[in-house]
Amino acid sequence: MEYFTGALKKYADFTGRARRKEYWMFILFYMIFYVLLAVVDSLIGTMLLSSLYALAMFIPTISIAARRLHDTGRTGWWQLIAIIPLLGAIILIVFLVQDGHEENKFGTNPKVA
């Protein structure tokens, strides 16, 4: 849970690097909360809660993905490759899964620090 709250503390921080574990734990908790809110929405017959949650989490999700891409030596702009149907999402997932480099222009390796 600390990875999720840590990412929220860096709400719109697009600088630095994020470890693989930090990114995927954030995505895990994001999906758990989203599914819970979707279930509540279906029980009350609306899509308000899950939609508001997704909207509120839009910027933190983009920022942590940018920091994750920085860890692999790429700029955050590579997220735009997901616009390409199917192939773009697959390429982006491959980039996000790759291990980080020791040191690059975005800073030192967060594993070392």
pLDDT value at 106 more than 70: yes
Q: pLDDT by residue (tens digit) across 18-33?
A: 999 999 999 999 999 9
12-26, 37-51, 78-92, 96-110: the lowest-pLDDT one: 96-110
Determine if the pTM surpasses 0.85. yes
Nearest alpha-carbon partner for 34 in 16, 47, 22, 15? 47
pLDDT value at 113 more than 70: no
Question: Greatest CA separation found in the chain?
Answer: 50
Q: Provide DSSP, 1-35.
A: -HHHHHHHHTTT--SS---HHHHHHHHHHHHHHHH
Residue carrying the six token digits 């980080």? 100
Stretch 31-40: mean pLDDT, rounded?
Answer: 97
Taking the mean position of all CA atoms in its chain, how far away is CA 94?
14
Q: pLDDT by residue (tens digit) across 72-85?
A: 989 999 999 999 99
